[in-house]
C-alpha cells in the first residue's frame, strides 16, 4: 500500500528544488524527459493506479485534494510540465472509474498491464482531439479497423500533449460498430526513444502562444496498431469521474499560474505603492479580488467532489476559473504597465498559459453545452 502523503511531500520537495530555475523553465519550448523521470521517482505515476494494485487511488473524494496540491506545486514553477503531468491520472480514470466489469479475463489482463506500466514509471497522455471536432472526443472521423486481436488506427489528431514524453496515449475512433466510438490505446514509446514510425507522421509541431513546452503536436495515423478499451460500457460509465478529475486538475494548474503571477506582481507593486495612481490602486485590488474569487470557486469544486456531487460544480468551476484567470492577469498587466508586455517579464507568458484552461478539454463552446445540459437535467428533476 502506497502512502499518498509521502508522494505528495516528495512532489512538493521536487517542485521547491526547481523554483530557482523558474525563468529558464518559462522560456522553454520543449519538455525535458529528466524532469518526468524525477517526477516518476516520487511515485507520481501511481496517481493513476488503484491502491488495491499498489497505487495511490482509493476514491475521487479522498484523492482530489492531494492530487490537486501536487499539480499546483508543479505548475507554480513549470506550467507546461504540470499540464502534461495532470493528464496521467485523468487518462487512467477510464480504468480507475470502471473497476466493476463483467467483460472477462481480457479486461482484467488489460487493467493489469496498464497499472503495471504506471507502477514502472510510464506516463500516459491523450491524442483524442481532431481538427474540426470542436474538442468533442466522441465527434471523431478516425477509423480503427479490426485486424486479428488488435485494431489499425487511421486519422488526423492534434493537441497530443506530452508527445515524446508519454509512453502510451488514448484516443477515440470509429470501429464499424454502432453507438459511441470507443476509447483506444496507442503505444507511442518509439517517440520517447526518438524514433520515427511511418504509420505515425508528425503533421504540425506544437506552436502555441501558451503552454509552449507541452509538445502538443499534431499527428497523422495510418494503420497504426491500437488496442480497444476492454469494456466500452464500463468506459462510458467512467466518464463522470474523468470529467471531474480533469476539470479540477486542469483548474489547479491554471490557478497556480495566476497565484504565481500575483506573488511576483506584489513584490513589484509594494515597492512602488506610494507612487501608485488611483486607477493603479483600484486595478491591483480588482486583480486581488478576482484571485480570491477564483480560489473560492476552486474550493467549491473540491468540496463538491468530496461530497460526491461534483459533476455540475466542477464543470461550472472550470468555466468560472478560466474567465477569472484571464481577466485577473489582464488587469494585472494594466496595473504593471508597458513593462509587463516585455518578453523579459513573465506576465505575458502567464496570461497565455492561463488561457489554456478555456481553450482545452473541453473548449469554451463545448464546455458551455455540457454545463447547459447538466443544468437542464437538474432543473427538470426539480420540476417533476
Closest CA to 244 of 65, 84, 382: 65
User: What is residue 361's predicted lDDT score, i.e. its pLDDT?
Assistant: 67
Enter the C-alpha cell of residue 301.
469544486
Supply the pTM of this predicted model: 0.95
Alpha carbons 53 and 38: distance in angstroms, whole number = 22
Walking along the chain (384 residues) 10 residues at a time, the average pLDDT comes out as: 90 97 93 98 98 96 98 97 98 87 77 96 96 87 93 97 98 88 97 97 95 97 96 88 96 97 95 94 96 98 97 95 95 91 90 86 84 90 83
User: What is residue 344's predicted lDDT score, i.e. its pLDDT?
Assistant: 86
Closest CA to 183 of 172, 174, 191, 199: 172
What CATH number was assigned to the domain covering residues 124-231? Answer: 2.40.110.10
Residue with cell string 504593471: 336
Rg (CA), the chain: 21
Q: Half-sphere exposure (CA, 13 Å, Cβ side) for 349?
A: 21
Could you tell me the CATH superfamily of domain 238-383?
A: Butyryl-CoA Dehydrogenase, subunit A, domain 3 (1.20.140.10)
Enter the C-alpha cell of residue 159.
493537441
Closest CA to 29 of 364, 359, 343, 358: 343
What CATH number was assigned to the domain covering residues 4-119? Answer: 1.10.540.10
DSSP label at 197? B
Residue ranges per structural domain of the chain: 4-119, 124-231, 238-383
User: What is residue 291's predicted lDDT score, i.e. its pLDDT?
Assistant: 97
Alpha carbons 299 and 314: distance in angstroms, whole number = 10
Closest CA to 111 of 166, 59, 185, 40: 185
Burial profile 23-32: b = 16 or more Cβ within 10 angstroms, e = fewer: eebbeeeebe
User: What is residue 133's predicted lDDT score, i.e. its pLDDT?
Assistant: 87
Amino acid at each position: 500500500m502506497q502512502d499518498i502523503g509521502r508522494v505528495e511531500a516528495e512532489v512538493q520537495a521536487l517542485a521547491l528544488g526547481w523554483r530557482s530555475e523558474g525563468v529558464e523553465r518559462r522560456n522553454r519550448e520543449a519538455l525535458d524527459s529528466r524532469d518526468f523521470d524525477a517526477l516518476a521517482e516520487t511515485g507520481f505515476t501511481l496517481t493513476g493506479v488503484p491502491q488495491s494494485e499498489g497505487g495511490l487511488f482509493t476514491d475521487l473524494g479522498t484523492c482530489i485534494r492531494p492530487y490537486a496540491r501536487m499539480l499546483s506545486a508543479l505548475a507554480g514553477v513549470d506550467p507546461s510540465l504540470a499540464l502534461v503531468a495532470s493528464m496521467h491520472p485523468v487518462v487512467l480514470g477510464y480504468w480507475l472509474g470502471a473497476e466493476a466489469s463483467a467483460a472477462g479475463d481480457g479486461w482484467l489482463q488489460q487493467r493489469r498491464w496498464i497499472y503495471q506500466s504506471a507502477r514502472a514509471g510510464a506516463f500516459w497522455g491523450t491524442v483524442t482531439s481532431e481538427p474540426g471536432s470542436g474538442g468533442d472526443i466522441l465527434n471523431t472521423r478516425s477509423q480503427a479497423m479490426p485486424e486479428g486481436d488488435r485494431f489499425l488506427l487511421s486519422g488526423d489528431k492534434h493537441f497530443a500533449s506530452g508527445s515524446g514524453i508519454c509512453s502510451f496515449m488514448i484516443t477515440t475512433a470509429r470501429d464499424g460498430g454502432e453507438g459511441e466510438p470507443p476509447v483506444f490505446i496507442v503505444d507511442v514509446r518509439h517517440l520517447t526513444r526518438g524514433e520515427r514510425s511511418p504509420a505515425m507522421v508528425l503533421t504540425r509541431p506544437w506552436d502555441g502562444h501558451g503552454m509552449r513546452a507541452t509538445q502538443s503536436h499534431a499527428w497523422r495515423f495510418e494503420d497504426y496498431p491500437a488496442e480497444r478499451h476492454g469494456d466500452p460500457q464500463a468506459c462510458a460509465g467512467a466518464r463522470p469521474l474523468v470529467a471531474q478529475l480533469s476539470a479540477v486538475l486542469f483548474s489547479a494548474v491554471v490557478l497556480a499560474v495566476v497565484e504565481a503571477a500575483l506573488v511576483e506582481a506584489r513584490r513589484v507593486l509594494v515597492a512602488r505603492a506610494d507612487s501608485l495612481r488611483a486607477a493603479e490602486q483600484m486595478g491591483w485590488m480588482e486583480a486581488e479580488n478576482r484571485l480570491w474569487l477564483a480560489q473560492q470557486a476552486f474550493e467549491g469544486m473540491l468540496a463538491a467532489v468530496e461530497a460526491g456531487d461534483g459533476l455540475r460544480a466542477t464543470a461550472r468551476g472550470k468555466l468560472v476559473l478560466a474567465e477569472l484567470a484571464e481577466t485577473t492577469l489582464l488587469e494585472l498587466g494594466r496595473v504593471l504597465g508597458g513593462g509587463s508586455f516585455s518578453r523579459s517579464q513573465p506576465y505575458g507568458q502567464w496570461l497565455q498559459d492561463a488561457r489554456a484552461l478555456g481553450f482545452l478539454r473541453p473548449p469554451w463552446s463545448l464546455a458551455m453545452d455540457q454545463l447547459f445540459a447538466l443544468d437542464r437535467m437538474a432543473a427538470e428533476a426539480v420540476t417533476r
